[in-house]
């Protein structure tokens, strides 16, 4: 069972992950466990203070080292008690390594993940000193923008990781067909009715010929990636067949225009 521990000022926010949808079902099946830690419970005064004004001035507040240190070390100790050899501690931060499919797969193979969801203007940098925490901290970003806190980013990471766990999805093949799995965006999808507002389902999908369907889906995935995320194609070496399909897609697009 994958162990998640999250350090957050708002533990109730994670009910959206643990109680709903794919991640809720995965938790009920025993595929992962989530324990939340509130830094206020580790504060050093009766006011449960977890932040203070930044040195050097400026707007906002900065999260204190000590409550975070205590809560993160407690989370790591819990995981070690559950048999996790080396918990991986992740700070959700716009300054971190960008979360992509490769990293999601890497994280899904871990025994335990400890997530730090910061708030305010940031975290006192001294938290990340080697002598402060029992385990090294990595920074992970979900994109080049800023959120009000790390909770939503932590939930995004959890959702992406949990759906990769065996048994999390109703159809084991669903995750294998997602966007980015093979470096391409996903192909278009259709369901009933066959005709809607004059628009019909592509005949290839109605043919019943699996080879034709597979070819059409790959061509559409290549074409959609070329149109919407050409940077992904620049990282991928296309096979001869894939290049031919992409060229065919382009010709068909020009024909429509």
The per-residue pLDDT for range 43-101, each reduced to its tens digit, is: 989 999 999 999 999 999 999 999 999 999 999 999 999 999 999 999 999 999 999 99
The answer to whether residues 15 and 91 belong to one domain is yes
224 and 185 Cβ atoms separated by less than 8 Å: yes
Of 162, 187, 217, the one marking the end of a domain is 162
Label residue 174 by pLDDT band (50, 70, 90): low
The answer to whether residues 85 and 152 belong to one domain is yes
Closest by alpha carbon to 8, among 151, 138, 112?
A: 151
**167 assigned to some structural domain:** no
**168 assigned to some structural domain:** no
CA dist list (Å): 217 to 78, 172, 177: 46, 19, 11
Is 235 designated active site? no
**114 assigned to some structural domain:** yes
- What's the CATH number where 225 sits? 1.10.1270.20
Is 88 designated active site? no
The answer to whether residues 22 and 139 belong to one domain is yes
The answer to whether residues 48 and 73 belong to one domain is yes
Q: How many domains are there within the chain? A: 2
The answer to whether residues 148 and 27 belong to one domain is yes
**42 assigned to some structural domain:** yes
Q: Which of 11, 54, 94, 188 is catalytic?
A: 94
pLDDT on residue 173:
62
The answer to whether residues 157 and 195 belong to one domain is no
Rounded to an integer, the average pLDDT of 142-153 is 96
- What's the CATH number where 116 sits? 3.40.1280.10
The answer to whether residues 90 and 199 belong to one domain is no
The answer to whether residues 52 and 99 belong to one domain is yes
Using a pLDDT cut of 90, give the percent of the chain over it.
Answer: 88
Q: Which of 178, 204, 242, 248 is catalytic?
A: 178
**106 assigned to some structural domain:** yes
Is 59 designated active site? no
Q: How far apart are CA 226 and CA 219, in angstroms?
A: 11
Mean pLDDT of all residues in the chain? 94
The answer to whether residues 156 and 183 belong to one domain is no
**173 assigned to some structural domain:** no
Q: Which of 66, 110, 121, 139 is catalytic?
A: 121
Does residue 177 carry a pLDDT above 70? no
Q: Is the pTM of the predicted complex or chain greater than 0.85?
A: yes
The answer to whether residues 40 and 132 belong to one domain is yes
The answer to whether residues 119 and 233 belong to one domain is no
Strands 62-63 and 32-37: unpaired
> Domain residues for 201?
179-256
* DSSP codes, 135-177: S-EEEEESSSS--SBSHHHHHHHHHHHHTTSTTSSSSTTTGGG
**24 assigned to some structural domain:** yes
Of 128, 162, 196, the one marking the end of a domain is 162
Label residue 170 by pLDDT band (50, 70, 90): confident
Is 163 designated active site? yes
The answer to whether residues 185 and 147 belong to one domain is no
């Amino acid at each position: 069972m994958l162990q998640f521990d999250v350090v957050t000022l708002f533990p109730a926010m994670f009910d959206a992950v643990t109680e709903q949808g794919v991640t809720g079902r995965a938790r009920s099946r025993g595929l992962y466990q989530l324990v939340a830690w509130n830094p206020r419970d580790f504060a050093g005064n009766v006011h449960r203070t977890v932040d203070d004004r930044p040195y050097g001035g400026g707007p906002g507040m900065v999260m204190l080292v000590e409550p975070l240190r205590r809560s993160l070390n407690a989370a790591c100790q819990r995981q070690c008690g559950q048999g996790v050899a080396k918990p991986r501690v992740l700070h959700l931060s716009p300054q971190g390594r960008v979360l992509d499919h490769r990293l999601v797969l890497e994280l899904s193979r871990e025994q335990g993940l400890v997530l730090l969801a910061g708030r305010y203007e940031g975290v006192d940098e001294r938290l990340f000193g080697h002598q402060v925490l029992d385990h090294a901290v990595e920074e992970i970003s979900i994109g080049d923008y800023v959120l009000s806190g790390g909770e939503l980013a932590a939930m995004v990471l959890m959702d992406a990781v949990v759906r990769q766990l065996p048994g999390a999805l109703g159809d084991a093949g669903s995750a294998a067909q997602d966007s980015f799995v093979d470096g391409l965006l996903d192909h278009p999808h259709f369901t009933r009715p066959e005709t809607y507002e004059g628009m019909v389902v592509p005949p290839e999908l109605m043919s019943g010929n699996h080879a034709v369907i597979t070819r059409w889906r790959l061509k559409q995935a290549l074409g959609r990636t070329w149109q919407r995320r050409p940077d992904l194609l620049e990282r991928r070496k296309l096979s001869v067949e894939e290049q031919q399909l992409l060229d065919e897609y382009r010709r068909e697009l020009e024909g429509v225009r």
